[in-house]
Amino acid sequence: MDDWVSLIEFTVAHGLKPKPEVGIQWGAGGDASVEELEAAGTRDPKWLIDRANTFLDAGAHACHLAL
């Protein structure tokens, strides 16, 4: 997560408005099959909220939530 925070801070320092995406399932919306997504499961929503708050605290303009 430190890499993400560093990227957000770097982006803000250069006058841009970062908007990272945070999701509870990796691969959703991509070319993964239904079977692959079901096998992968999902993360705890608290993880998503904590991660989004960390990004906002680092200076993110907003977070895109992929549920």
Task: Look up the pTM and report it.
Answer: 0.79
Token match 């982006």: residue? 11
pLDDT-derived band at 9 (thresholds 50, 70, 90) equals: very high
59/61 Cα distance (integer angstroms): 6
* pLDDT over 90 percentage in the chain: 60
In this model, does residue 47 exceed pLDDT 80?
yes
The answer to whether the CB of 54 falls within 8 A of the CB of 6 is no
Q: In angstroms, how far apart are the furthest CA atoms of the chain? A: 42
Taking the CA atoms of 65, 23, 30 and 3 in sequence, report the sign of the dihedral they define.
positive
